[in-house]
Amino acid sequence: MKIRVRFTLLQLLIIAGFIGSMSFVFIQFSRVYHLKQLEIQSIQTSTALKTLDQNTRLFSSRHKNLRFLWGDWETSFQQFDELYMEMLSNPYHHLLGQDAIVQKETLGKSWTTVKEREVQRLTERFQIILSEELPDITGDNGIKISRQLIGLVEGTESIQVQKLTEIEAEFDSLKNSLIADISIPTERFITNLSNEIELISSKLYSFSIVISVFIQAGGIFLVFLFTRSFSRNTMELERTMAKVSEGNFNINLNIQSGDEFEDISKHFNALTQDLWNRIESMKDMMRDIGSITGEETEIGELEDFILELAIDNTGADAGIFMTEEEGMLVLKKAQGYFPPPIPLPPMVSSKREFVSEWFRNHRIAPGEGMLGNVIKSGEPRFVRDNIDGELPDNIKQDSDTFINSAIFVPLIVSGSTIGLLALVLTRSESVFTD
């Protein structure tokens, strides 16, 4: 797997872990938020229940007209009923678990029973009472005092006293039902709700810490694996290159990591093998030169041999050997067709045989064309690709004077330039390498 792909996967894993953990935390926060909303509804319901309970307990003892007392109680009942039913119908009870759902259903059934058994009967009775003259008789004295006053005047067995006594008894019964069936279970429900929210918040805090530690530890572990492989391959590359720098070219870099390091290893091995082959070739050439110079050999034969070795070792299409005579360059040896890297006079035909004949007889002055510049400067020149026109007279590919790549090496003995060796490639698809 490529290093870039590994690094991308590492980033994606870290991002995915972060997004996953943040999504979970968001879900938990959303859960807490909805439970908090449910808790607020429960608190509002509890407040309304306390108001209803207070109006129920004090109904008989308040010094108010019966119509006012009933209107006040009926308002508190309606407010509580609306809030209570809204709380019980909240869709997020399931977040508290199955026990909370069962408890909610029990509260709903209890409240329905209280309304049907107590409130409905009380409402029907009170509607009848309000339509009679009893409210006018009691005035603002309230039920308890009115019952005592009427009892003193008309006797305790009077109809008004009995009605007031029944009303007082029914409100006492309703008060007991509210306390036993509604108030206590509702308070217990709110307490459980608060405890559950506190527990979830604690779990959320702990989980957030665990997730943060896990993501950091996982990221560190993945980075460690990545850097370990990277460092190991880098050290292997450094060790092998150090041996090559010491002159050991017969060595291979063995990295099988499936990434860019393996590609570098293959290219490096190809490079060292090529260098090794070149060194061996140069050794063979030096042995051949030593062998031929140890014999009685004509200078011309030695020049031919050196030129042949240069062409064979570089893969050149042609080469020339030139010497300096009376300050001018003269062509001494040539192998293959070598297009002159200098301007041709107009009278010379572009055919190879005429060009070669003219080149053999032409003397090149220092500074004339590429050959003259090399002799004048004493510096070698390497034209890797003539596409930029370093040899302007040899740039046309469809002509016999085309040169695609060239090497020009001055021959210097004891600080003096005595000649020049030049090699060319005339095929457009071939170039000399460094």
Q: What is the pLDDT of residue 1?
A: 58
Share of the chain above pLDDT 70, in %: 92
Q: Strand locations in 183-317, DSSP E?
A: none
CB 168 within 8 A of CB 144: yes
Q: What is the pLDDT of residue 422?
A: 93
216-224 own/partner pairs: CB under 8 Å, 24+ apart:
218/13, 218/14, 218/17, 219/14, 219/17, 222/10, 222/13, 222/14, 223/10
Q: What is the pLDDT of residue 279?
A: 64
Share of the chain above pLDDT 90, in %: 12
Highest mean pLDDT among 34-38, 196-200, 271-275, 335-339: 335-339
Q: Is the pLDDT of residue 367 over 80?
A: yes
Q: What is the pLDDT of residue 82?
A: 93
Q: Is the pLDDT of residue 242 over 90?
A: no
**Which pLDDT tens digit goes with each residue over 243-262?**
777 767 677 777 777 777 77
Q: Is the pLDDT of residue 342 over 50?
A: yes
Q: What is the pLDDT of residue 296?
A: 45
Pick the CATH number of 299-425 from 2.30.40.10, 3.50.50.60, 3.30.300.30, 3.30.450.40: 3.30.450.40
CB 114 within 8 A of CB 177: yes
Highest mean pLDDT among 208-217, 224-233, 336-345: 336-345
Question: 140: which strand partners?
Answer: none
Lowest mean pLDDT among 142-156, 201-215, 286-300: 286-300
Task: Please give the full DSSP string across 92-142, using - where no structure is assigned.
Answer: GGGGG-HHHHHHHHHHHHHHHHHIIIIIHHHHHHHHHHHTSSHHHHHTTSH
Q: Chain-wide mean pLDDT for the chain?
A: 81
CB atoms under 10 Å from CB of 322, counted, come to 24
Is pTM beyond 0.75? Reply is no
Q: What is the pLDDT of residue 434?
A: 64
Q: Is the pLDDT of residue 84 over 80?
A: yes
Per-residue pLDDT, averaged over 222-237, amounts to 77
Taking 3-state DSSP, the helix, strand and coil percentages for the chain, each rounded to the nearest 5, stand at 70, 10, 25
CA distance 102 to 189: 11
Per-residue pLDDT, averaged over 132-145, amounts to 73
